[in-house]
Amino acid sequence: MRAFADYHTHTVYSHGKGRIEDNVRAAIQRGLKSIGITDHGPGHFFIGVKGEKAFRRMQAEIRQLQEKYPQIEILFGVEANIVDVDGTIDVPAAILPELDILLVGYHKLVKPNSWSALRTGVKNFFSGWQGKASQSLREINTKAICATVRRYPVMAITHPGLQIDIDTLELAHVCAECGTLLEINSSYAGKLDNYVQAALTTDVRFVINSDAHTPERVGDFTAAYHLIRRVNVPLERVVNLEGAKRGVFRAGEKFIND
């Protein structure tokens, strides 16, 4: 079992500790063929990318590094945040079509786009302390994330159900319908068994990512491999494993088979 790409890594542009080049060099050392630079969207309080100008700097830096390191594909992306109950995300309209890959995570501590989003965000925050969410809140969350998948060219949903309570089965059905992947996140793999098991009953496909916040963690899929073995995920359903059916990801498109 060997993954050839890590599509979810963070840098100093958001919550990471290393430069983009540090992540790229780490990926090369791990023998990866592709790496995604997917910092947190600007709607995340305190740690998000600092607006369109920062995205442009990242984009230019990635172009330069692609020339310097032609042996690896370096993808310009983002881990966007859901900022409204209608599924709106926080990526600037001018940036969205220029992304190579779009990941979406349902996070707490994001800047709400409406009063409805603010109320839902507060409820989600306190439900985390209580360890459970009401059925109505779960339904609102599920409708929001499913709306995002239907509305945007989302490559993958990151760590589904980790921070925000959702109906993973319903999300998996929508992702399968729309060609969006569900992430098996190696940083949180010990908490995701139930979510992956629920999704396995649908036709959705998966992608392994590290969610690295330091260069040393880029390409570290050990915990994800253990999860795959624990819950018996068919290897052909994980798109970035060697030997799996390969594909490409670009803005405006879903998963496209070669």
- Residue 101, SS3? strand
Q: What is the pLDDT of residues 167-177, one digit of tens each?
A: 999 999 999 99
pLDDT, position 251:
41
Is residue 37 within 8 A of residue 23, CB to CB? The reply is: yes
Q: Chunked in runs of 10, what are the mean pLDDT values of the chain (258 residues)?
A: 96 96 98 98 93 96 98 98 96 96 93 94 79 86 97 95 89 97 94 92 97 97 96 96 60 40
Which pair of structure tokens corresponds to residue 41?
């969207």
- Model confidence, pTM: 0.92
Q: If one looks up domain 5-257 in CATH, what number appears?
A: 3.20.20.140
pLDDT, position 125:
85
Q: How far apart are CA 242 and CA 208, in angstroms?
A: 12
Q: How many CA atoms lie within 13 A of 83 on its CB side?
A: 20
pLDDT, position 105:
94
Is residue 185 within 8 A of residue 211, CB to CB? The reply is: yes
Every domain of the chain and the residues it spans: 5-257
Compute the C-alpha angle 211/215/218, nearest 5°: 45
- Residue 6, SS3? strand
- Own/partner contacts of 53-58, CB < 8 Å, gap of 24 or more, are 54/13, 55/92, 55/95, 57/13, 58/13, 58/20
